[in-house]
Structure 1
Amino acid sequence: MLQLANIKKSFNEKKVIKGIDLSVRKGEVVVIVGPSGSGKSTLLRMMNALEYPTEGDIRLEGESILYKDINGKHISRNDKELSKFRAEIGMVFQGFHLFAHKTVLENIIEGPIHVRKIKREQAIQEAEYLLKKVDLLDKRDQYPHSLSGGQQQRIAIARALA
């Protein structure tokens, strides 16, 4: 489903990521562990095309997320094309980035409604299912500030899954 091939990343002369190959199959859970500053966040940002690798490619279901081939040339994808892939790859940021002015439920349905163009009723059903999975259905109408850090993280995970 997701394949990283020879991913390298440098910032000026500093090599941060030195050739990562990774394949993740559908339904598989992968954990990326390492010390602070080892490139974990940079790698995840590249998987969502928020940053580009210095070298290598990332494929989702066999198709490059980052580039398209036109007349034998590697051309970077435009924002509209990237959005198609980003809609299929969820991220949970360290700071969670929940919308403070929206309820838990509204936070979760925002992406499916506006990015994936799912009808509100269906988005709510899916959000409630995910809230059950993270054991927070009873918090659906609360605002993020009223939740613990762990609860906010679980809401962020449900939102990424949605």
Structure 2
Amino acid sequence: MESKKKILIVDDDIDVITAIETILTKQGYEVHSAMNKKEGIEMLRSVKPNLAILDVMMTTHYEGFELAQEILKNPEFKDIPFLIQSSIEVLMTSNASIQTVAREYRQDPNFKDLQVLLIKNNYDGSAGIDYKAEDGQSHWFPVKGFIRKPVDASKLLPEIEKHIK
């Protein structure tokens, strides 16, 4: 018998967790949740999920981004794909270098004051985040994709199926 694919949701909003958990459990996934970065790291270790869904704003403004960077740089977690969940508009591009696009947006007077840029290439699906930390520095990191809040099951499931191992 095939074991269920495990998904970890890291979000401080219990209603969001419940909504996503309901959708995913109906689809046969085993769902685990954590309310902040610290619990998220513990769950990544103990559960070893096939995919993680990270909220951005939890205890701090960028806690989800900090957790994402922890996943990317920690050899123990680097093979766990993750999606970022946010209500921020995703900027679409056809430029192969999404990081270059982020830098161009940072120069644009209409966008340079944005704290967070979520960028996705419409052709190859590559995606990344550029955010300004409290020290004013821009930080860039790649992500598998984005889930828009409020969660829409018809968009959530295809995004998960695309990236789950």
> What is the TM-score normalised by the length of structure 1?
0.29
| Greater share of residues in strand | 2
> What is the TM-score normalised by the length of structure 2?
0.28
Q: Which has the larger radius of gyration?
A: 1
